[in-house]
Amino acid sequence: MSDLIVIQPQVNTVDVTEQVNSVVVSSVGVTGPAGTNGTNGTNGTNGAAATIAAGTTTTGAAGTNATVSNSGTSSAAVFNFTIPQGAKGDKGDTGSSGVIAVNAPITNSGTSTSANLSVSAGSTSAAGILQLTDSTSSTSTTTAATPNAVKTAYDIGALKPLLKMQSGYYFRTPFPASGNVTIIHQRTYYIPIFIPETTTLDRIAIQTSSAFSGTATMRLGIYNNTNGLPSTVLVDGGTVSCTAASTIYEVTISQSVAAGFYWLAMCQQGTAPTTGSYLGMGPSTTNLNPYIAAVAAPNGNSTLGWLQSSVTGAFATATSLSVATTTFNVWARAA
């Protein structure tokens, strides 16, 4: 066995180990006392807060898996969702065929399973739809009267003072007296007239009195009646030139009128004649207009119609009406 000698100085001792013929000497110092702890380092700054946001939502194919992906970052996440659609459900059972049966007045121009329904028109012999109408002169058997038409017919029946207007004859308000009456220039006089049934009128006429002289332009027309007063123009017949005394002057019209009250209108316009005098009825406490039969006060002058002052040119809607205690004979002729 070879000899090995190791010499390690430690404190004041030397250990010698013999091995072969070599000697190794090492020096090991004595362990010193522990050092003091170092000071703590400073705190670091706070990091940014993490965020989460919803991104897209996509419908995936039926049978695929739902997925979630992050298109953002680990600290600012944006989640995108893919949600598969549901699988197609089973086909439902076939329903029973619908059958439509109809009774009159409903009709079906289609089939019992593919209907095209309508309601038949009514008549005197069959139930059905009827068109409403306000007419009081219609002879239709497939229309129905409105309450307004019924009331109008009732009023006409209750008040109807005349028989049928005969073709070619002239009609006017039946005043109890007639004489020479001076007219006020550019003043429209409204005289009531009752039409007993639907009639076509073709003339409006007036007559100058024996006292008339000069030349006058007379405008003649017909107004509608609203609540017992002249209202809107039914027909403006234009003007006629009056040049002689005791002469009838007229304008030609063609106007169909239903049964009811209307107002004949006359207005002397243009240049005033020397004497504008026409047949009519002046103020009276005893002679009444049979269609009005009213006075403003007991023993006062009768209300013979209505008037409107300062009228020039074509007729327009009646306004600013005043009671007329003077009136004139104005005729309308049945065609």
Determine, yes or no, domain membership for 67. no
Q: Whole-angstrom Cα distance, residue 97 to residue 317?
A: 65
- Write out the DSSP string of 94-106: PPPPP-----TTE
At residue 147, φ and ψ (nearest 5 deg) are -55, -35
**pLDDT, mean over the chain:** 85
Sign for the pseudo-dihedral over CA of 314, 316, 322, 328? positive
Determine, yes or no, domain membership for 111. no
User: What pLDDT, on a 0 to 100 scale, did the predictor assign at position 156?
Assistant: 59
Question: What is the reported pTM?
Answer: 0.56
pLDDT tens-digit map of 109-137: 888 778 888 888 888 878 878 888 888 76
Determine, yes or no, domain membership for 101. no
Structure tokens at 216: 């006058």
In the predicted structure, residue 26 carries a pLDDT above the cut 70: no
- Write out the DSSP string of 267-312: EEESSPPSB-EEEEE---SS---TTT--BSSTTS-B--EEEESS--
Secondary structure of the chain: what % helix, strand, coil (to 5)?
Answer: 5, 45, 55
For the chain, the domain total comes to 2
User: What pLDDT, on a 0 to 100 scale, did the predictor assign at position 28?
Assistant: 54
Place of tokens 């123009």: 233
Residue 100 corresponds to which amino acid?
Answer: I
Question: Can you give the CATH number for the domain in which 212 is found?
Answer: 2.60.120
Domain housing 12: 1-27
Determine, yes or no, domain membership for 129. no
State the virtual CA torsion across 216, 221, 227, 231 in degrees, nearest 10: -80
Q: Whole-angstrom Cα distance, residue 133 to residue 244?
A: 48
Sign for the pseudo-dihedral over CA of 155, 158, 161, 164? positive
In the predicted structure, residue 7 carries a pLDDT above the cut 70: no
In the predicted structure, residue 301 carries a pLDDT above the cut 80: yes
Determine, yes or no, domain membership for 310. yes
Determine, yes or no, domain membership for 143. no
Q: Whole-angstrom Cα distance, residue 45 to residue 156?
A: 104
Determine, yes or no, domain membership for 319. yes
Determine, yes or no, domain membership for 76. no
Per-residue confidence band for 198, with pLDDT thresholds at 50, 70 and 90: very high
